[in-house]
A and B are shown apart, each in its own frame.
Chain A
Amino acid sequence: MTQQILIDPVTRIEGHARITLQLDDSGQVADAQFHVTQLRGFEKFCEGRPFTEMPSLMARICGICPVSHLMASAKACDALLAVKIPAVAVKLRRIMNLAQIAQSHALSFFYLSAPDLLLGMDEDPAKRNVFGVHEVEPTLARDGIKLRQTGQQIIELLGGKRIHPAWVVPGGVSEPLNAAKRDQIKAMLPEALTIAQRTLDWFQTVIDRYTEEISAFANFPTLFMGLVNPSGGLELYDGQLRITDPAGVPITDDFDPQDYARYLAEAAESYSYLKSPYYKPLGYPDGLYRVGPLARLNIISHCGTPLADQAFAAFRQLDRQSSFHYHFARLVEILYCLESIDRLLDEPDILSEHVRAHAIPNNNEGIGVSEAPRGTLIHHYQIDSNGLMTSARLMIATGHNNLAMNRGVLQVARRFVQADHLSEGMLNRVEAVIRTFDPCLSCSTHALGQMPLHIKLLAPDGHLLDEVRR
């Protein structure tokens, strides 16, 4: 008899999903599927709206990473206006984006994954949460909360509120920074940096416990993609897109993000609302690639800030194919974000009041690309001659990782799940591989239309027993 194991819901991730494990006659895992079970519909219902609403409307996609959508959306709108936004507006947007990435990484690492990493994959699920972490290692739990708070407060100081600030607008930002707020932000950074460094040091002491997970957590060669700056260093807001082979060697010239559609396409699978993007020249599903912290650090030559570069050197000693190291990469990036914010705040023009360019739309198509905590985020808009949206295409960071997550689930399930003596810890590992990617599923499902439902009931020999279509 073939059997199915259903993990529903997948816990400690953002959004809703379930996993199906398909067993063969001998009780071994034959196949695994990661189902994203929700639909948001933003691509559809923004049609007919004025494009000037898009940054704030798109920010509502997510309460964790509203800022990331603000960035990509505002950049797409800048492209519609065809303006070069004031230099200081770029810097202010960068600061907010860095704060966003720091706070989101803190959430992923401390709240969602630290329970697995500190207490172990086999700990009682009732304890395997942030409260359990607090019982065993109160400093770690408090550090996580403090770090997240720092990021959120920086966002609030800049944008007026910490979730869904309306401050990022087409053409720049709506208000300049003042000296009092700058000093307040600067004063928060030293403690946050101490926490980030302390956490990284702690993580390096426990990482050896997880050699088996490291070897099986979505550990396979894939392409990597992310933005890089002109000197090949870490870039989270502008820059060129780079796609590399598993060893981090670019497989094509770095390209302008405006040309993304020449390199990337999306496939849809009937078992999930999440689309599966792939690298066009290799086709589907061979054009599998990964984005996010691991990919970003795999494709660059340096971070560009002292503490982050030190940590980056340690990261480079690790197995760069293992998705387990997303965790490490996240900690490196937190250091980079905090150091970069400090650096940007010291720029002589950071208090300049010229923060917004005004224009009417001069293009009917605009593409905005930036790096979200989870990877490259693409917003692609088209408008009519009056400035009303005619189409929106969103390629969300989590989506890029869909193929890798699916394959990672299968790899972990094959390694750890034994159907004859099933344990909770085995299934937790299947969830934990998803957590390494820190997917934000609520962000990532937007297309609306005919979602084909096609269910096949197969006998062990592959013989079709029943079939339902919608």
Chain B
Amino acid sequence: MTNRVLTLQINGQEVSGREDETILEVAREHDIHIPTLCQLEGLSSIGACRLCLVEVANVPKLLTACITPIQEGMEVHTESERLNHYRRLVIEMLFSEGNHICSVCVSNGHCELQNMAQLLGVDHVHLPYRNPQRRVDASHDRFIFDPNRCILCTRCVRVCDEVEGAHTWDLKARGIQSQVMTDLNQPWGDSTSCTSCGKCVHLCPTGALFEKGKSVAEMSKRREFLPYLTIMRGKHR
């Protein structure tokens, strides 16, 4: 693997990074904040949530910073009215797509979606709510999956596959019908692959995955294990 260093501009600032790095990684190394929801250091990046969209000079479409490698001489802009508009729209679509009722949610006050909405100034949802009817899966002894609060970031799918090695979680169906599922769409409690390690629960950005017995606003997540495991495996991405 080459270690060639490239130079580029982010928001007019001259920065440099290794050529195998993404725009997001280089931005973070230089304390430039780009909002993300699906991305987590230690998991593969997939560009699913679209919050990290950035503008690149001479590229007509917006690019996701988490999966776009840097290039020599690139001019990246991470803040603009257009980007803010799209980011807010992404959050609004997430809210309108599921059933996100912060006031009665176990993750109220500890939720990445809620925090992101506040950060981006989303004070209204201008789209009609879909109010889907989705059944809560409480069949597991220790954990509950509430698909009403799932934003399909697939952190659970990735950590279960890439870190725990169980691959209990995966996606089913397509488009607006997509949901995460356990094993072959069986109740979580019946899963033969799940090791009950709880990694998915603690990486879930919302209250979609939580510990049984937790009441409203009581579910704060502990994510320290992921950087630890990543370093210990010597697989720093």
On whether the beta carbons of A386 and B215 are closer than 8 Å, the reply is no
The answer to whether residues A52 and B214 also contact, given A60-B103, A60-B104, A164-B103 and a CB cut-off of 8 A, is: yes
Q: Which residue of A is nearest B217, CB measured?
A: A166
How far apart are the CA atoms of A62 and B104 in the complex, in Å?
A: 14
Interfacial residues of chain B within 140-197, with CB under 8 A of chain A in the complex: 144, 146, 189
Which residue from B108, B136, B146, B215 sits with its C-beta under 8 Å from A174? B215
| Inter-chain contacts of A198 with B (CB < 8 A) | none
Answer whether residue B216 sits at the interface, using C-beta atoms and an 8 A cutoff: yes
Interfacial residues of chain A within 41-83, with CB under 8 A of chain B in the complex: 48-50, 52-53, 55-57, 60
The answer to whether residues A360 and B212 also contact, given A56-B103, A387-B138 and a CB cut-off of 8 A, is: yes
On whether the beta carbons of A388 and B136 are closer than 8 Å, the reply is yes
| Inter-chain contacts of B13 with A (CB < 8 A) | none
On whether the beta carbons of B136 and A55 are closer than 8 Å, the reply is no
Q: 0/1 per residue, A414-445, Cβ < 8 Å to B?
A: 00000000000000000000000000000000
| Inter-chain contacts of B189 with A (CB < 8 A) | 386
Answer whether residue A368 sits at the interface, using C-beta atoms and an 8 A cutoff: no
Q: Which residue of A is nearest B108, CB measured?
A: A166
On whether the beta carbons of B144 and A174 are closer than 8 Å, the reply is no
Shortest beta-carbon distance, B67 to chain A, in Å? 36
| Inter-chain contacts of B144 with A (CB < 8 A) | 50
| Inter-chain contacts of B217 with A (CB < 8 A) | 56, 166
How far apart are the CA atoms of A387 and B146 in the complex, in Å?
A: 13
On whether the beta carbons of A52 and B104 are closer than 8 Å, the reply is no
On whether the beta carbons of A52 and B136 are closer than 8 Å, the reply is no
Q: Which residue of A is nearest B218, CB measured?
A: A174
The answer to whether residues A386 and B139 also contact, given A57-B104, A164-B103, A174-B218 and a CB cut-off of 8 A, is: yes
Answer whether residue A243 sits at the interface, using C-beta atoms and an 8 A cutoff: no
On whether the beta carbons of A50 and B216 are closer than 8 Å, the reply is no
Q: Which residue of B is nearest A160, CB measured?
A: B217
Answer whether residue B38 sits at the interface, using C-beta atoms and an 8 A cutoff: no
Answer whether residue A115 sits at the interface, using C-beta atoms and an 8 A cutoff: no
How far apart are the CA atoms of A56 and B217 in the complex, in Å?
A: 9
How far apart are the CA atoms of A388 and B138 in the complex, in Å?
A: 7
On whether the beta carbons of A48 and B136 are closer than 8 Å, the reply is yes
How far apart are the CA atoms of A50 and B104 in the complex, in Å?
A: 11
The answer to whether residues A53 and B104 also contact, given A166-B215, A358-B213 and a CB cut-off of 8 A, is: yes
The answer to whether residues A170 and B104 also contact, given A48-B135, A50-B136, A387-B138 and a CB cut-off of 8 A, is: no
Answer whether residue A334 sits at the interface, using C-beta atoms and an 8 A cutoff: no
Q: Which residue of B is nearest A388, CB measured?
A: B138
How far apart are the CA atoms of A164 and B109 in the complex, in Å?
A: 14
Answer whether residue A169 sits at the interface, using C-beta atoms and an 8 A cutoff: yes
Q: 0/1 per residue, B51-94, Cβ < 8 Å to A?
A: 00000000000000000000000000000000000000000000
Which residue from B135, B139, B215 sits with its C-beta under 8 Å from A53? B215
Shortest beta-carbon distance, B15 to chain A, in Å? 43
Report how many residues on chain B are interfacial, defined by Cβ distance under 8 Å: 18
| Inter-chain contacts of A174 with B (CB < 8 A) | 215, 218
| Inter-chain contacts of B103 with A (CB < 8 A) | 56, 60, 164
Q: 0/1 per residue, B89-110, Cβ < 8 Å to A?
A: 0000000000000011010100
| Inter-chain contacts of B213 with A (CB < 8 A) | 52, 170, 358, 360
How far apart are the CA atoms of A239 and B138 in the complex, in Å?
A: 34
| Inter-chain contacts of A60 with B (CB < 8 A) | 103-104
How far apart are the CA atoms of A48 and B144 in the complex, in Å?
A: 12
How far apart are the CA atoms of A450 and B149 in the complex, in Å?
A: 30
Shortest beta-carbon distance, A231 to chain B, in Å? 34
Q: Which residue of A is nearest B189, CB measured?
A: A386
Most buried by B among A49, A52, A57, A387: A52
How far apart are the CA atoms of A387 and B214 in the complex, in Å?
A: 12
Shortest beta-carbon distance, B12 to chain A, in Å? 44
Q: 0/1 per residue, B196-237, Cβ < 8 Å to A?
A: 000000000000000011111110000000000000000000
| Inter-chain contacts of B214 with A (CB < 8 A) | 52
On whether the beta carbons of A386 and B138 are closer than 8 Å, the reply is yes
Shortest beta-carbon distance, A411 to chain B, in Å? 41
Q: 0/1 per residue, A117-137, Cβ < 8 Å to B?
A: 000000000000000000000
The answer to whether residues A55 and B139 also contact, given A60-B104, A164-B103 and a CB cut-off of 8 A, is: no
On whether the beta carbons of A387 and B216 are closer than 8 Å, the reply is no
Q: Which residue of B is nearest A383, CB measured?
A: B138
Shortest beta-carbon distance, B100 to chain A, in Å? 14
Interfacial residues of chain A within 344-360, with CB under 8 A of chain B in the complex: 358, 360
Interfacial residues of chain A within 382-419, with CB under 8 A of chain B in the complex: 386-388
Interfacial residues of chain B within 104-141, with CB under 8 A of chain A in the complex: 104, 106, 108, 135-136, 138-139
Seed contacts A52-B106, A53-B215, A387-B138; 17 additional CB < 8 Å A-B pairs: A48-B136, A50-B136, A50-B146, A50-B212, A55-B215, A55-B216, A56-B216, A57-B104, A164-B103, A166-B216, A166-B217, A170-B213, A174-B218, A358-B213, A386-B138, A386-B139, A388-B138
- Residues of A participating in the B interface, judged by any CB pair closer than 8 Å: 48-50, 52-53, 55-57, 60, 164, 166, 169-170, 174, 358, 360, 386-388
- Residues of B participating in the A interface, judged by any CB pair closer than 8 Å: 103-104, 106, 108, 135-136, 138-139, 144, 146, 189, 212-218
Q: 22 interchain pairs (CB within 8 A)?
A: A48-B136, A50-B212, A52-B106, A52-B215, A53-B106, A56-B216, A56-B217, A57-B216, A60-B103, A60-B104, A164-B103, A166-B108, A170-B213, A358-B213, A360-B212, A360-B213, A386-B138, A386-B139, A386-B189, A387-B138, A387-B212, A388-B136
Q: Which 8 A-B pairs have the closest CB atoms?
A: A56-B216, A386-B138, A169-B215, A57-B104, A166-B216, A166-B217, A52-B215, A388-B138
